[in-house]
Structure 1
Amino acid sequence: MLKTRPTRDGTVKITFSLPADTPPTSVVGDFNGWDPYATPMRKRSNGTRSAVVEVPAGTRLQFRYLVDGGEWHNDPDAEHVDGHYVDAPDGLLTV
């Protein structure tokens, strides 16, 4: 699930959320240089996982979820575009 929230300083906070049964996962995309260690999703008290990033308003992001063990997943709430490193589409979000 994706949630966006504009801030007063012209940026947008994006919250990436996954269900409680999700194993350790990172959000990987052009906003963090496709670094699989840059944006790990933290486990919440209710078992779900989430990560928050802040980007300038008007940014177009490409991203995917990288599950521990090397599996790539898309967010069903995102648009999809051509793949980046793999033969599957990346998620697209314009904020």
Structure 2
Amino acid sequence: MLECIRSKKQTKITFVLPASHPAGEVSVVGDFNDWRPGAHPLVERLDGSRAVMVTLPVDQRHEFRYLADGGHWLDEEEADGHDGRNSLLHT
């Protein structure tokens, strides 16, 4: 799930995954963090879901995916689109 807060100059995107799915550590990786695993790890919330917030400039297109333990890649179903390989996000 994606939660978005937009202002004139930036968009705050919160990437959210349900509790324990997938099991283990998960990070969001994309062109906004040079595809570096662990740069934006999801952290457990009070409701058990896991999330991380990333602030991005407005009016840009970004590619991203989730990377879970064991090298498992996951797509975001609620993304603005998919290019056949990555999830797409328009800020």
**Stretches of 4+ aligned residues off by more than 4 angstroms:** none
Matched with 1:21 is 20
Structure 1: tracts of 5 or more residues without a match = 83-88
Q: In the alignment, does 2:89 pair up with 1:90?
A: no
- What's the offset of the Cα at 1:77? 0.6
Q: Matches of residues 49-60 of structure 1 in structure 2 within 5 Å?
A: 49-60=50-61
* Ranges in structure 2 where 5+ consecutive residues have no aligned partner: none
Aligned residues, how many? Answer: 88
In structure 2, the residue matched to 1:6 is 6
Rounded Cα–Cα distance in structure 2 between residues aligned with 1:94 and 1:42: 23
C-alpha RMSD of the superposition: 1.1
Q: Partner of 1:31: helix, strand, or coil?
A: helix
* Aligned-residue identity in percent: 43
CA distance in 2, matches of 1:20, 1:2: 15
- 1:17 Cα offset (Å): 0.4
